[in-house]
Amino acid sequence: MCFQNLGKYQQMSEVIRHKAFVKQIDPDLMIVAIINQSACSSCHAKGACSVSGFQEKEIEITGFSKKYSENEEVTILFKESNGFKALFYGYMLPFIVLISTLILSLILTKNEGISGLISLGILIPYYTTLYFFRNHLKKIFKFEIEETD
């Protein structure tokens, strides 16, 4: 197998590969769907359990050269290091901001209720800012298709 994008991925420590199905194709954009399985989906008792389940996620992919058809199975690639960045921006940094705001507001107001509301409220501008920078973040956290000849 010859991979067109192999040169980019040789310098990375790890690449996450995931099977997906082409859902929609436009000239510059392809939307693929991956099935996210819960950890207990392989359990022998999953038929009797209401916790197990599948969730479909859609991913936008740009910059593909090969022609694809709808419902075709493809392999998508994602840098593992970008996964850690996404976790940092999505979960760790807001947690740090929340705890810092809670401690600072407790020192300033000496009221736990108000401090809790302020620290939760600070997440609104944080996630709003992430939303407004979503197009920039799409360029950083880019998924690609493993193209074979």
- In the chain, where the domains are located: 6-145
Write down the pLDDT at residue 51: 52
pLDDT tens track for 12-54: 458 888 888 888 888 788 888 887 765 565 565 555 555 555 6
- What confidence category does residue 103 fall into, taking pLDDT thresholds of 50, 70 and 90? very high
Find the mean pLDDT for residues 112-136.
94
Neighbouring C-alpha atoms within 13 Å toward the C-beta of 67: 0
Q: Are 101 and 110 in contact (CB under 8 A)?
A: no
Instruction: Please report the pLDDT score of residue 43 as a whole number.
Output: 64
pLDDT of the residue at 47: 58
Q: What pTM, to 2 d.p., does this model score?
A: 0.64
Q: Who contacts 127 (Cβ-Cβ below 8 Å, separation ≥6)?
A: 94
